[in-house]
Amino acid sequence: MRTSPWLALVLGTLAACGPTSPATTGDDVVDTDAAAGDPDGGGLPDAPFDDTDASCGAQTEHIAVENLGDPPDLLIVLDRSGSMTGPIPMFPPNFTPKWTIMRDALNGVVTQRQDNIRFGLSEFPTNDDCAADPATAVRVPIDLGQAPEVAQYFMTRSPNGNTPAAAGLAAALAHYNAIPANPAGRYVLFATDGEPNCDVDEATAATHTVQAVQALAAAGIKTYVLGFGGAFATGTVLNDAALAGGVPRPGGPPHYYAANSANELAAALQAISGGIIVPSCSYALATAPPVPDDVTVTLDGVVVPRSMMHTNGWDYHPDAMTITFFGSYCQQIMAGATGQVSFAYGCPGPVID
């Protein structure tokens, strides 16, 4: 199945015509403090005037939606070497350990996308030196809904040891070989803050690291390479590994994703994770609309007509809790040309058939 740039999952909006709050009724607000002899004294709460706003969609309540594309696998191969205890070398200085920044960023992206990506997490080294034992490297198995497990990992593990990157990547391949292949895609996110070592010399360690990425690629597993908070030379092993992994950073060189701040790390993780999600023309609704016919659907802010004949628009399909796009709108989504999908309950949109 083909991959596409991340199609953002936007919160749907539940809109209902009804009583408005004091903030929206202007001069019609009844000041109960004044009526009780306490004008604007703050001693009593103001009560809203019992009135109905004539405009449709005066109030909103956010309802989550979920893209129903098949979730790919993404195994995070994480460098937990001792250098991750240090801060990012930058000016002005920030003394937050790289491990803490990585923890927060990974927790954030896994929490956000755990319903659309089957995340797993593998570490290197597995001891406090140069080991990357395939039997113990995978700390979070690949699956949906792994945000709690990833958070638990960071609560129980801390950085130490060297950087046996080749062995860590080999352990990732061993894990993938032990589980069924996912037709929606299999990926590795190789995240490190330094050049690989734990070999006869650095040049050999670099060669073995690229060869490990090539072995993953030969098995149909693409590798994203992320260099975080380190000083990597031009032409570094990370560039070679990113090219060998089959998903280099667009616009390179550098061909790997470089991040030297918390914001850059978050952006890189968003780009990588968003790039592997397989879009679908169907979206699950977390809550049923109160009036199914009073629904406005938009793509990037443009209203999409309802098409009950499933020609060119949207409809409830295959059930009342799923909205599916058809025709040119589905093609737009599958091509990755749509950045925002929104559902607004409360106001009827156009119907073409």
Whether residue 64 is found in the same domain as residue 119: no
| Residue 180 in domain | yes
Of the candidates 188, 186, 201, 194, which has an alpha carbon nearest to the alpha carbon of residue 159? 194
List C-alpha distances in Å: 312 to 281, 306, 315, 340: 12, 8, 10, 18
Whether residue 255 is found in the same domain as residue 290: no
79 is written with which tokens? Answer: 């460098």
Its pTM stands at: 0.69
Asked if 311 contacts 295 with a C-beta cutoff of 8 angstroms, the reply is no
Whether residue 99 is found in the same domain as residue 245: yes
Q: What's the one-letter identity of residue 317?
A: H
The H-or-E segment that residue 348 falls in is: none
Distance (Å, whole) CA 160 – CA 128: 5
Whether residue 195 is found in the same domain as residue 223: yes
What Rg, from alpha-carbon coordinates, does the chain have? 25
136-140, long-range: CB within 8 Å, 24+ apart, which pairs? 137/168, 137/171, 137/172, 137/175, 138/75, 138/171, 138/172, 138/175
Whether residue 129 is found in the same domain as residue 226: yes
Full domain range(s) for residue 167: 73-276
| Residue 253 in domain | yes
Strands 222-228 and 257-259: parallel
4 is written with which tokens? Answer: 């596409």
Domain tally for the chain? 2
| Residue 104 in domain | yes
- Of the residues 276, 310, 333, which one is the last residue of a structural domain? 276
- Of the residues 243, 276, 309, which one is the last residue of a structural domain? 276
Asked if 57 contacts 77 with a C-beta cutoff of 8 angstroms, the reply is no
| Residue 28 in domain | no
| Burial class, 118, CB count within 10 angstroms (exposed 0-12 / middle 13-18 / buried 19+) | buried
| Residue 45 in domain | no
| Burial class, 37, CB count within 10 angstroms (exposed 0-12 / middle 13-18 / buried 19+) | exposed
List C-alpha distances in Å: 31 to 35, 53, 67: 7, 19, 46
Distance (Å, whole) CA 40 – CA 17: 29
- Of the residues 276, 301, 320, which one is the last residue of a structural domain? 276
Look up the CATH number of the domain holding residue 101.
Answer: 3.40.50.410
How would you write the pLDDT of the chain (353 residues) with one tens digit per residue?
Answer: 333 333 333 334 333 333 333 333 333 322 323 333 333 333 333 333 233 334 554 444 545 667 778 899 999 999 999 999 999 987 788 899 999 999 999 999 999 899 889 999 999 999 999 999 999 999 999 999 999 999 999 999 999 999 999 999 999 999 999 999 999 999 999 999 989 999 989 999 999 999 999 999 999 999 999 999 876 765 589 999 999 999 999 998 999 999 999 999 999 999 999 889 878 899 888 888 888 888 888 888 899 999 999 999 999 999 999 999 999 999 988 877 776 788 888 778 889 88
Tell me what pLDDT residue 116 has.
86
